[in-house]
Amino acid sequence: MDTLVALTMISSFEQLHATFESFRADKRWLFRGHAHLDWTLTPKAGRDPYRKIDDQVVFHSWRRQAVAYVTARPQNDWEWLAVAQHHGLATRLLDWSSNPLVASYFAVREALPGDAVVYAAKFKSAVPPEEKGSPKEFRELAVFRTHRIADRITNQGGMFTIHPDPTSPIRSDSTGVLGLEVIRIAEAFRPKLRAQLSYYGFNDATLFPGLDGVSSHINWTIESQEYWKYPVPSML
């Protein structure tokens, strides 16, 4: 990725809050957290080994099988693609959040070495709500706001960017990018920030609604010795 200078090295929640305040006036800013500095802003379909296969062929194969499992059938290929992305298929969509604290949580959720990063980006175009054509034929890097087809997307303030070339990462000079900034989170602050975000309601139980999310969150509280060291476990 092209060289981007971090706005600041974040080592406290107060610094994080002050940094995010600078984006508050412009609702076009979207946020994405990465657990590692070297990860690029590239959709999964554009990464190895998925880039070797036409993602449209993969998508249609997935859709033929997925139709047996959906309770509310998506209305068009755009909604189908959002469902596929939501359930982990390698697509040409990239996840973002309108909430910077959600992005911060995903930046520090994994206990990896090194600094984490939150990207703040805004884009020139959005997919028109009435768009009914194939996502593969859409030729702009643009924001895609789907209907709230899943609780997880709603809870995460989720939206996507659609990439005409999924192998090409978003850069500050990419066509359609109006702004791209980096917030770097110091390695030593990562575990503390995850605990602080959990206290304010950003954790697996809230961002992944359902039994899997609750189980994952409680496992983390044990692994990190959060809450259980206190006399009232109901603080969960």
- The confidence score (pLDDT) of residue 5 equals 52
- The confidence score (pLDDT) of residue 71 equals 82
Quick check: 184 and 8 in contact, CB under 8 A? yes
For 88-114, the DSSP string reads T---SEEEEES-HHHHHHHHHSS--SS
pLDDT, one tens digit per residue, over 119-140 is 999 999 999 988 878 999 999 9
Together in a domain, 147 and 220: no
Together in a domain, 223 and 113: no
User: For 11-20, which contacts have Cβ atoms below 8 Å and span 24 or more sequence positions?
Assistant: 11/186, 11/188, 11/189, 12/189, 13/193, 13/196, 16/104, 16/183, 16/185, 16/193, 19/183, 20/100, 20/101, 20/183
In this prediction, residues 191-204 reach a mean pLDDT of 91
Question: What is the total count of domains within the chain?
Answer: 2
pLDDT, one tens digit per residue, over 156-191 is 768 999 999 999 999 999 999 999 999 999 999 999
Together in a domain, 141 and 231: no
For the record, the structure tokens of 34 come out as: 């990465």
Q: Which residue has the higher pLDDT, 225 or 42?
A: 42
For the record, the structure tokens of 234 come out as: 């109901």
Measured CA to CA, the distance from residue 87 to residue 83 in angstroms comes to 6
Residue 114 has pLDDT above 70, yes or no: yes
Together in a domain, 77 and 22: yes
| Mean pLDDT, the chain, integer | 88
- The confidence score (pLDDT) of residue 158 equals 80
- The confidence score (pLDDT) of residue 1 equals 41
Classify burial at 113, counting beta carbons within 10 Å of its beta carbon; exposed 0-12, middle 13-18, buried 19 or more. exposed
Lowest mean pLDDT among 66-75, 110-119, 134-143, 218-227: 218-227
Q: How much is the pTM?
A: 0.87
Together in a domain, 13 and 88: yes
Residue 45 has pLDDT above 60, yes or no: yes
Together in a domain, 139 and 225: no
Residue 144 lies in a domain: yes
> Residue 115 sits in which domain range?
6-191
Q: Which residue has the higher pLDDT, 95 or 131?
A: 95
Rg (CA), the chain: 18
Q: H-helix or E-strand containing 144?
A: strand 142-144
pLDDT, one tens digit per residue, over 9-41 is 999 999 999 999 999 999 999 999 999 999 999
Residue 217 lies in a domain: yes
Residue 118 has pLDDT above 60, yes or no: yes
